[in-house]
Amino acid sequence: MNLMLMGLPGAGKGTQAEKIVDAYHIPHISTGDMFRAAMADQTELGVKAKSFIDKGELVPDDVTNGIVEERLAQADTNVGYLLDGFPRTLDQADALAAITDKLNKPLDGVINIDVDPEILADRLSGRFICKNCGATYHKLYHPTKVEGTCDRCGEHVFFQREDDKPETVKNRLKVNIEMNTPLLDYYEKRNLLYTVDGNQEIDDVFSAVQKVLDTIKD
Ligand code: ADP
Ligand code: AMP
């Protein structure tokens, strides 16, 4: 299955991606994760991306489209893929269509995790991430089962994202909300859009996602 997860920052894309990847064994391709890895390694890409990410802005399309094209050309995506955080603009959506046509890996469905925007800042401010495996937690809504130990890999070191600071969050949400409606329309018109209610608890959101994936598989 070739899938894309849509949703505003904090909607739960990364959280649901972990569950989808475990259940369906397809690679998770998150442009945000790719940029954070490049920033941690201080590569040329990382240095460039950081100047935008720190302000809550989008990284320019030419940079972002390039890393996605390279990633989708890799053989592990032949069994399917789960895009997360890309595309975020209409130009990126057109670029993705061109890339997936060229590679003969067209999207089968877009899952939109719909969440009331008022609750997103709260989700982002409580988010923490395992330094080793990238699993995502929330201090109130999704704590680790054993305090200070990652449920997935047992790591004890976690980090908070720099861009989850309230100053950056405000601009990130503004930028992303503006882009969201036209993108939803874009995929709706192409009969690829499936919306799930992301205001529910994490496991209930996943049940809704699974129902959608069952219809896409048939
Ligand atoms: P995104 O990848 O869309 O930015 P995340 O999956 O990182 O979002 O989730 C943002 C934060 O909200 C995390 O701290 C996560 O644990 C928490 N979260 C995710 N889904 C839910 C949910 N359904 N209810 C409450 N908190 C959630
Ligand atoms: P995310 O982890 O998806 O919340 O992304 C973190 C940040 O990386 C975003 O706020 C953007 O600055 C940048 N980014 C991630 N994906 C994209 C994209 N598709 N286009 C432009 N910038 C992106």
End-to-end CA distance of the chain: 11
User: Given a cut of 70, is residue 167 above it in pLDDT?
Assistant: yes
pLDDT at position 114 is 97
Q: State mean pLDDT over 155-161.
A: 96
Residue 143 in any domain: the answer is no
Residue 129 in any domain: the answer is no
Radius of gyration of the chain (CA): 17
User: Given a cut of 80, is residue 37 above it in pLDDT?
Assistant: yes
User: Given a cut of 80, is residue 217 above it in pLDDT?
Assistant: no
**Ligand 2 test: best mutation among 18, 30, 35, most atoms within 8 Å of CB?**
35
151/42 Cα distance (integer angstroms)? 29
Residue 128 in any domain: the answer is no
Each residue's pLDDT tens digit, 174-206: 999 999 999 999 999 999 999 999 999 999 999
Residue 92 in any domain: the answer is yes
19/185 Cα distance (integer angstroms)? 27
Q: State mean pLDDT over 147-173.
A: 94
Residue 125 in any domain: the answer is no
Each residue's pLDDT tens digit, 54-71: 999 999 999 999 999 999
pLDDT at position 88 is 95
The position carrying tokens 């920052």 is: 9
pLDDT at position 163 is 93
The one catalytic residue in 123, 127, 190, 217 is 127
Residue 139 in any domain: the answer is no
In Å, how far are 96, 116, 193 from 107, measured between CA atoms?
9, 26, 11
127/140 Cα distance (integer angstroms)? 9
User: Given a cut of 70, is residue 103 above it in pLDDT?
Assistant: yes
Domain that holds residue 192: 2-115+168-217
| pTM of the entire predicted model | 0.95
Residue 131 in any domain: the answer is no
Domain count, the chain: 1
pLDDT at position 218 is 53
Each residue's pLDDT tens digit, 131-144: 999 999 999 999 99
Structural contact between residues 58 and 43, judged by C-beta atoms closer than 8 angstroms: no
| Residue 161 a catalytic site member | yes
135/126 Cα distance (integer angstroms)? 14
| Residue 172 a catalytic site member | yes
- Cα 12 to middle of ligand 1, angstroms: 4
Residue 91 in any domain: the answer is yes
Give, using CA atoms, the residue closest to atom 22 of ligand 1: 202
Q: State mean pLDDT over 16-43.
A: 96
- Cα 97 to middle of ligand 2, angstroms: 19
Q: State mean pLDDT over 88-110.
A: 97
CATH number (domain holding residue 21): 3.40.50.300
- Residues in contact with ligand 1 (CB, 6 Å cut-off): 7, 9-15, 123, 126-127, 136-138, 141-142, 198, 201-202, 205
